[in-house]
Structure 1
Amino acid sequence: MASAITAPTYDPVNTANSLADKYVMARQQILDTQRKAATATEKGLSELGSAMSAFQTSLAALTGTNKSMYAQSAVFSDTSVGSATASATAAAGNYSFFVKKLATASQVSYTGLTDNAGVAGTLQINMGGASAFTVNLGAADTDANGTLSTRELAAAINSATGNTSMITASIVTTGATSELVLTAKNTGAGTAITIDTSAVTGASSLKAANADPARVRTLALAQDAEIRIGSETGTAITQASNTFTNIDGVKMTFTKSQAPGSAPVTIAVGADSAGTTANVQAFVDAYNKLKTVLNKLTDAGDPSKGAAGGAFAHDGGIRALNDRLVSLLRPTTSGDTLASFGIIATKDGTLELRSDRLQRQLALKPTSLDGLIGVASSSAPTGIAGALDKFIKGWSNSADGQIKQRKEATTNTQKTLADRQAFLEQQHEAAYNRYLRQFTSLQTLQGAMTNNLSMFDALFGSDKD
């Protein structure tokens, strides 16, 4: 009997696939690592861009043009009479006023109006005795049925050329007739509404109403506001608006007139410690949100503890950005510092506010805080806020900022990696097909040899004569 031949049994498909995987394994691992890094970079850039945008928005809200970190308040002794706000430049003190009249907007109505056929010509709308705009009634019949309805009349007034929302027309239905109500947008004696229907042709019910004093009603009299300085008999100040700015840095809005003989209302202007603290805390919080994102993205990690580093742990440009932000908080010019106003840097580079130190410094130098923080303005940036905003714009600018350029480079890298992945998959396929042919042939050869051995055993086995 012939000796049995022992040979490995091959599965051509699994064997070819396993060998093809090993053939490209090293290069696949490199590509996977590069793709992972590119994805992390893309995500990190988006996160950084969002954080920068949020910080710039906060800077603009806190330190933009006409904004102030140092807050002052203006408080009415009787809040039912009005309210007020004070800027950082307002002089502290107490001011008294007597509110004799409030400014009101004109409102008139024309009663007994009906839909009329054949109305044309022009309607003249006047305010304060002067022409405001004209209405072409010949074009007001929008449904072209030959009849000018009261609603078409109101619509024509509202959409008339020259009526830049100065007057609003509305219709109130009163049984078989309608009432046209005209309301001025602004207040003051100069808003008094009248109409001139002399150029209106046809059987116009509005023209008839305007000619009949009994059908023209004054619903609200147009008048200027009048306040008196100090007392009811003090110097009069009149104007068309109820908002007064006669005290430098103070805006007062009166909402109720006072009865004759009433005591004048007092406005106290002074430092708003709580408001200033809130503004400074908002600045600190906004900066800390950006700094926290940067710290996370540049974190070196700890391999010994299995803690991965941030997306830009080894990126010198982002780390330089992080360091530059910290340095911008320390202006090189002599004078006040953030620390002198209680804004202290912590170990991780974020800020914290010590409000007691802030209040002590504000008591000594109430206007120095705004000079130190400055203004985040595109036209005239100043101070720390201006420097921060200007520097960050070099990164966040949508046209040519660093983030945009880095995103474009990352996109190009991802396209290159995708091309390399496609080429590697082609190499894997070619290797697989080559190994499959080889091991299929080997399997066929092994089968033939096994068959021959069985034939020899049948012919020359030891049990044969």
Structure 2
Amino acid sequence: MATIGNTYDPATTAAGLATNYTSARQSILSAQTKQASSAAAALTSLRSAISGYQSSLLSLTSGKTMLSQAASFSNTAIGTASAGVNATAGSYSFFVERIATANQVSYNGLADSAANGGTLGIDLGGAPGFSVNLATANSDGNATLTPREIAAAINAEPTNNGRVSASIVTVNGVTQLMLTSKTTGAAGNISLNTAAVNNAGLKAALDDPLNAKQVVTGQDALVWLGAQGTGTAITQASNVFTNVDGVTMTFTKAQAPGDTPVTLTVASDNAATVAKVQKFVDDYNKLKGVIDTMVAPGDPSKSAAPGVFANDGGVRVLQTRMVSMLRGVNGADSLAAYGIVATRDGSLSLNTTRLTSQLAVSPKGLDTLIGSSVNGSSSGIAGNLDGYLKEWSSITDGQLKQRLEQNTKLQTTLTKRQDQLDKQYDSAYKRYLTQFTQLQTLQSRMASNSSMFDALFGDKS
């Protein structure tokens, strides 16, 4: 008699049949979920790329010009200079008679004294600056006030606001209280008011002119526009001068009487201008590269998958509009005239030689061409690009916002459909598991009966 045996596992069989029951719908749903997830990531990436490009445009065009200026001294040992976008080309003569210095004074002969309290006044430029409570200066609470505690109290005094720095310097075993003004100029000169110091010994030591030494005298800078004595004198507390529009000059060394004035030269900085234009080109290509990847059709022969928006007409319009905005600018002051050339695929390249040549012929034409993306005064290519990109990047009604919201709704719907499909799978699995478990039980009984019959009626020989 044939043996009846189990040839399957109910759980495995049930899982296989349940998977087969939902596989077609699961395949479609998985593809849709993957596409929605890819779209969400791509939209977020596109928003970041557009925002970054708009910020770059604003940074490049927020000044009055893309042209850069450079400023330099004929003698770099005297100081340094830098020019902003508003600087006007020209030459200027300066004679540096003296530079501004910060006052530094030391007090010798200060021994530990009895902590009798009182206040120590710190005057700046001959006017009251702030006061130090000597009672609280005795930080360890003993009966002795040390110079180091006085220094700490000066630094910690809230009304000091960092205007005076106090430290202890020991020279040949002699302790000195060193006070340094944090600002240059005569207005920062330090003097002490000891009228309210209670300890007579401390007061006498601080008042003794033999104990005070001017390490560095605080003085204002004196610079002549022109020759010393015959030009125009400029006096100020700082060594940083901004008397020439758009130019910042920092003087670091005084000249000797009779020296020739230094010459400040302000001129166009073609290298810096080229760098700005190159950044304009590079940042545009960076954004275009992101978009190109997203709309790429793919190439099966090279195993290149299509971009996530390969079939999205809206993103393709974004791609073509950006290219057309650049290619549509013609005339004597065109992008091509300044060496900015659009290649066949719409990306840009820069011919620096042509750019430099055209700047010499028409320097202001570049600003007119590129324009500005500043709100309220947008113009030129930058204004047009930024204006169109705002249709995508606007946080109120931009296309990216709308697309992300729609995609989020789709993902929510797909998640609900997945939950429903999972429940259908579970239901089918349980049904099949019950059926095949019952069938397995029946087979086991039949196999048992078959064995019994074989024992009763089988061949006894």
Matches within 5 A, 1:14-413: 14-64=12-62, 66=63, 68-145=65-142, 147-174=144-171, 178-203=175-200, 205=202, 207-235=203-231, 236-303=233-300, 305-326=302-323, 329=326, 336-377=333-374, 383-385=380-382, 388=385, 410=407, 413=410
Following TM superposition, by how much is the alpha carbon of 1:230 offset from its aligned partner in structure 2, in angstroms?
Answer: 3.1
Following TM superposition, by how much is the alpha carbon of 1:83 offset from its aligned partner in structure 2, in angstroms?
Answer: 1.6
SS of the residue 1:200 aligns to: coil
Q: Quick check: 394-403 or 246-255, which moved more?
A: 394-403
Following TM superposition, by how much is the alpha carbon of 1:115 offset from its aligned partner in structure 2, in angstroms?
Answer: 4.0
Q: Tell me the TM-score normalized by structure 2.
A: 0.85
| CA displacement, residues 253-273 of structure 1 (integer Å, 9 cap, x when unaligned) | 221111222222222221111
SS of the residue 1:344 aligns to: strand
| CA displacement, residues 321-372 of structure 1 (integer Å, 9 cap, x when unaligned) | 4445445557989994433322222233322212223223222332333344
Q: Distance in 2 between matches of 1:34 and 1:200?
A: 84
Q: Distance in 2 between matches of 1:180 and 1:376?
A: 57
SS of the residue 2:192 aligns to: strand
Q: Distance in 1 between matches of 2:245 and 2:160?
A: 34
CA contact (8 A) 1:12 1:440 kept: yes
The residue type paired with residue 300 of structure 1 is: P
Aligned: 1:427 with 2:424: yes
Q: Quick check: 409-418 or 243-252, which moved more?
A: 409-418
| CA displacement, residues 390-427 of structure 1 (integer Å, 9 cap, x when unaligned) | 66567557798765665566555545544443443332
Q: Distance in 1 between matches of 2:112 and 2:320?
A: 75
CA contact (8 A) 2:43 2:400 kept: yes
| CA displacement, residues 205-256 of structure 1 (integer Å, 9 cap, x when unaligned) | 3x33331111111111111222223333431222222222222332222211
Say if 1:162 and 1:381 are closer, same or farther in 2 by CA, change over 3 A: farther
CA contact (8 A) 2:80 2:249 kept: yes
Q: Distance in 2 between matches of 1:170 and 1:390?
A: 58
Q: Distance in 2 between matches of 1:115 and 1:382?
A: 72
% same residue: 52
Q: Distance in 1 between matches of 2:135 and 2:331?
A: 73
CA contact (8 A) 1:331 1:384 kept: no
CA contact (8 A) 2:6 2:443 kept: no
Say if 1:228 and 1:115 are closer, same or farther in 2 by CA, change over 3 A: same
The residue type paired with residue 37 of structure 1 is: Q
CA contact (8 A) 1:225 1:242 kept: yes
The residue type paired with residue 191 of structure 1 is: G
Q: Distance in 2 between matches of 1:338 and 1:218?
A: 63
Q: Distance in 1 between matches of 2:406 and 2:33?
A: 13
| CA displacement, residues 290-315 of structure 1 (integer Å, 9 cap, x when unaligned) | 22112212323235654222233344
CA contact (8 A) 2:84 2:246 kept: yes
Q: Quick check: 422-431 or 432-441, which moved more?
A: 422-431
Q: Quick check: 387-396 or 29-38, which moved more?
A: 387-396
SS of the residue 2:168 aligns to: strand
Following TM superposition, by how much is the alpha carbon of 1:320 offset from its aligned partner in structure 2, in angstroms?
Answer: 4.4
The residue type paired with residue 337 of structure 2 is: S
SS of the residue 1:201 aligns to: coil
Say if 1:226 and 1:312 are closer, same or farther in 2 by CA, change over 3 A: same
CA contact (8 A) 1:134 1:161 kept: no
Q: Distance in 2 between matches of 1:172 and 1:67?
A: 52
Q: Quick check: 52-61 or 223-232, which moved more?
A: 52-61
CA contact (8 A) 1:288 1:351 kept: yes
| CA displacement, residues 45-68 of structure 1 (integer Å, 9 cap, x when unaligned) | 34334434543453454333x474
SS of the residue 1:13 aligns to: helix
Q: Distance in 1 between matches of 2:64 and 2:23?
A: 60
Q: Number of aligned pairs?
A: 460
Say if 1:218 and 1:39 are closer, same or farther in 2 by CA, change over 3 A: same
Q: CA RMSD in A?
A: 3.6
SS of the residue 1:226 aligns to: strand
Q: Distance in 2 between matches of 1:9 and 1:37?
A: 41
The residue type paired with residue 373 of structure 1 is: I
